[in-house]
A and B are shown apart, each in its own frame.
Chain A
């Protein structure tokens, strides 16, 4: 059985309860008081000490409100023609997204790991065994989502464990438990995929035709990595959420590189041997 997340960004209110719950449950050290000065978001990105991160996206593409705006309609998420020719897009101007490790099906971090510290556990989640990791840091640039980083003063790499410990006790992960709007759903991957498709269909019916599921091999990228166990319902281009539209498997060409290197070795050998000629 494979478990994963479905994060529905359309109902996220940006409360960051998931970040707090994750930090508390997993006893992750603080990141320090660093403010970007760019937005209300003060944790900036996923890292070895931030396993859930809520992005605050101020969206410029949406039209500004003009005309005689009906604030009630705005609050109620209405998309019909508004009195006075007002244009609005209730969800568009401000979007939140709780980001997390994607638990890739063909995880680049796991393929990079030279110690075998990164494994797939019995829930088919990508898990770093902290007692094995020796902090080589090779998984860090391998991850196509910038999820992992080395924790200073500890030396090892950390990321979301999908609350391995809680799952073993039959509990859902701390972030999903804490989420007040059910933006973060936890469950079986297949089941969540169905839920995601239904939700996107509903959104399309409501007029949000831009909604799509990110993390399936068919839609929204995830080219060489076979999809993600953590999926997202997005309302905009993946890049807006700091996700690549077509992430790739960095190890896809290791064999190819070995071939080109062998050819180069042959050529260099021939060149040096040629120099020995009298």
Chain B
């Protein structure tokens, strides 16, 4: 007490102080510019996480139906649903992506050029290839199903389109689309995404396969279609995939370290912890054990699907928080933390 008053008396006795008082300026303790974000977050709105979700489902459906085909498991209902799903998702995806553009009428500029370094460019081309392949395959299926009528054209389509071969060709492209949704995010300056470059693609793909298996199981159950074996395999595959997905999410969290904090923030924790981890992974996993009933399977599928959607939203929203946090960016963009070409992980 006495010291303080002594100090202030001295100041009044002809001593000059600068007009600026650092100790009273709490803003200036941390090194940044008034907390204004040093990088800009992506503007992407709800269409993008939904596209990520749909793209993942599409990749997973392609994986499961192609493998069923190759491994000689012939289930008409499964093949049909797989082929129509691929087409529908490949119609929805570009619509969502074009919708989100600032200048939607110029979407075709994506096709001016192919840049291997740009995940967005790779994705556009992959969608174009995969979309056209799934269109052809679905056309053959429609002809077989008699949706195009019994005329010369459908006969021609059935004869000319080698659907099984095209399905095998489409598989790597579909898997690329599924994983690239994650890679696309990691190739930015946003700390939480960039830090986790190695696991973003794999995690999105695993989550995509898990949601796809749930989707197939859900549709087959709702329509009371599909062979018993199909249901059985879907269930078994889903259990294993959830394990892979959980391991990848755990690895991601370890890799993100302190930059993963936004996932547990007040706004995002409900989506990530509640929606993804508990409702989307733990609950369906538990439901997949024990006696197999239709009700339980449907519930598990719905939960896994919504969990996958919550995951996409959580990751995209966490990226916004991460980009808005100067401390996160500055501590990441330091020599010792930053991702460099020569780093292994």
Which residue numbers of A lie inside 8 Å of B, CB to CB? Answer: 36, 38-39, 41, 44-45, 47, 55, 57-62, 64-69, 93-94, 108, 111-117, 132-138, 140-150, 154-157, 221, 223-224, 237, 239-254, 256-258, 260-261, 263-265, 267-269, 271-276
Name the distance in Å between B255's Cβ and chain A's nearest Cβ: 11
Name the distance in Å between A87's Cβ and chain B's nearest Cβ: 11
Pick from A55, A135, A272: contact of B33, CB below 8 A.
A55
Tell me whether A136 and B175 are in contact in the complex, defined as CB-CB below 8 angstroms, given that A248-B340, A267-B244 are known contacts: no
- Report yes or no: B102 in contact with A156, Cβ–Cβ below 8 A: yes
Measured in the bound complex, the distance between the Cα atoms of B15 and A260 in whole Å is 65
* Stretch from B79-87, B116-124, B133-141 contacting the other chain: B116-124
Instruction: Using CB atoms, name the residue of chain A closest to B329.
Output: A244
- Enumerate chain B residues within 8 angstroms of A108, measured Cβ to Cβ: 189
- Report yes or no: B186 in contact with A253, Cβ–Cβ below 8 A: yes
Measured in the bound complex, the distance between the Cα atoms of B108 and A114 in whole Å is 11
Measured in the bound complex, the distance between the Cα atoms of B38 and A147 in whole Å is 9
Instruction: Using CB atoms, name the residue of chain A closest to B193.
Output: A141
B-side interface size class: 35 or more
Name the distance in Å between A27's Cβ and chain B's nearest Cβ: 19
Name the distance in Å between B78's Cβ and chain A's nearest Cβ: 12
Q: Show 26 A/B contacts (Cβ-Cβ < 8 Å), sorted by A.
A: A60-B25, A64-B17, A114-B113, A115-B106, A115-B112, A136-B120, A144-B39, A145-B38, A156-B103, A243-B38, A245-B330, A246-B334, A246-B335, A250-B187, A250-B194, A257-B197, A261-B176, A261-B182, A261-B205, A265-B205, A268-B206, A268-B244, A271-B237, A272-B63, A272-B64, A272-B213
Instruction: Using CB atoms, name the residue of chain B closest to A265.
Output: B175
Pick from A38, A260, A273: contact of B34, CB below 8 A.
A38
Tell me whether A244 and B38 are in contact in the complex, defined as CB-CB below 8 angstroms, given that A38-B27, A134-B109 are known contacts: yes
Measured in the bound complex, the distance between the Cα atoms of B71 and A251 in whole Å is 38
- Report yes or no: B16 in contact with A44, Cβ–Cβ below 8 A: no
- Enumerate chain B residues within 8 angstroms of A138, measured Cβ to Cβ: 42, 118, 120, 184
Instruction: Using CB atoms, name the residue of chain B closest to A253.
Output: B197
- Report yes or no: B17 in contact with A65, Cβ–Cβ below 8 A: yes
Asked if B318 is an interface residue, CB under 8 A from chain A, the answer is no
- Enumerate chain A residues within 8 angstroms of B27, measured Cβ to Cβ: 38
- Report yes or no: B187 in contact with A264, Cβ–Cβ below 8 A: no
Pick from B36, B41, B244, B334: contact of A245, CB below 8 A.
B334
